[in-house]
Amino acid sequence: MITLYMTPGSCTTGINILLEELELVFQVQVVDLMKGDTRTPEYLAINPKGTIPTLVLDDGTALTDYLTICWWLGKTYPRKQLIPEDLMAQIRVLDALSYSVNTLHGHGYTRIFTPDRYAADTSGQERVKAEGMVLVKKGLHYLNNLLAGSPSAYVTEKFSIADTALFYNEFWAVHQQIDLPEHCQRHFDAMVKRRAVEQVLVEEGYGKYVR
Ligand SMILES: N[C@@H](CCC(=O)N[C@@H](CS)C(=O)NCC(=O)O)C(=O)O
């Protein structure tokens, strides 16, 4: 059976949503980031990058990195059309996906959540967090403009793999009490109305965000 290595409320929430959207049978292995579960020899043997999400397939292949896992899921289960056919729509999906994971999460939120990676002392860490906040607001602004040009509340005409990555970043903003810009708020509202999103948020202990 497919196994998702995940931490509730982390970026893995987006992959959990995708698995539920695809109605796949899978199991989860909870990873305690604070306890350092991603740095154990056992975990590094599965994912040498020491990150979550990791998706281990039936044959034991371990997929690592958000984009890789999304792409595999979208291509392996095409019936839900989570990757659009049209090339320019695919380009929008890749742009939103990559920017959400690598820039907004990777540069912005990482500074807010783990400032100790950038500075050893308390005042340095406060500066890093403030820099992270600026990067997150700038990133949300970029994605808000991208959504403004969309024919739907989603990144493209229909829900796609990109929407899950944008969603977990919006979810973190709401959780951090950072105001979402207009189109991101509309996207977030559309996402929490989806059955799979509601189910995952409740399962992961964030039912209060479901309206
Ligand atoms: N590039 C990775 C990054 C994902 C990532 O940063 N995940 C965080 C949790 S939200 C993590 O694994 N942190 C543990 C660590 O980096 O040690 C991906 O796309 O999956």
Q: Is the pLDDT of residue 64 over 70?
A: yes
pLDDT digits (tens, 9 = 90+) for 103-139: 999 999 999 999 999 999 999 999 999 999 999 999 9
User: How many angstroms does the Cα of residue 38 sit away from the middle of ligand 1?
Assistant: 9
Q: Are 1 and 28 in contact (CB under 8 A)?
A: no
Full-model pTM: 0.97
The residues of the chain that CATH labels 3.40.30.10 are 2-80
The confidence score (pLDDT) of residue 168 equals 98
pLDDT digits (tens, 9 = 90+) for 166-184: 999 999 999 999 999 999 9
Q: From atom 2 of ligand 1, which residue's Cα is the shortest distance away?
A: 65
pLDDT digits (tens, 9 = 90+) for 29-46: 999 999 999 999 999 999
The confidence score (pLDDT) of residue 211 equals 65
Q: Is the pLDDT of residue 59 over 90?
A: yes
CATH of domain 2-80: 3.40.30.10
Architecture of domain 87-194: Up-down Bundle (1.20)
**What is the atom index within ligand 1 of the atom nearest the CA of 12?**
10
User: How many angstroms does the Cα of residue 151 sit away from the middle of ligand 1?
Assistant: 31
CA separation for the pair 180, 183 (Å, rounded): 8
- Within the chain, strands assigned E span 2-6, 26-30, 54-56, 62-64
pLDDT digits (tens, 9 = 90+) for 69-114: 999 999 999 999 999 999 999 999 999 999 999 999 999 999 999 9
The confidence score (pLDDT) of residue 210 equals 86
Q: Which residues line ligand 1 (CB under 6 A)?
A: 10-11, 33, 38, 50-53, 65-66, 101
Work out the number of other CB atoms within 10 angstroms of the CB of residue 24: 14
pLDDT digits (tens, 9 = 90+) for 3-12: 999 999 999 9
Question: Token pair 């994971």 is at which residue?
Answer: 101
User: How many angstroms does the Cα of residue 52 sit away from the middle of ligand 1?
Assistant: 5
The residues of the chain that CATH labels 1.20.1050.10 are 87-194
Work out the number of other CB atoms within 10 angstroms of the CB of residue 80: 16
User: Residues near 186 by Cβ (< 8 Å), separated by ≥ 6?
Assistant: 147, 153
Q: From atom 16 of ligand 1, which residue's Cα is the shortest distance away?
A: 51
Select from 34, 51, 111 the residue to mutate for testing ligand 1; criterion: most ligand atoms less than 8 Å from CB: 51
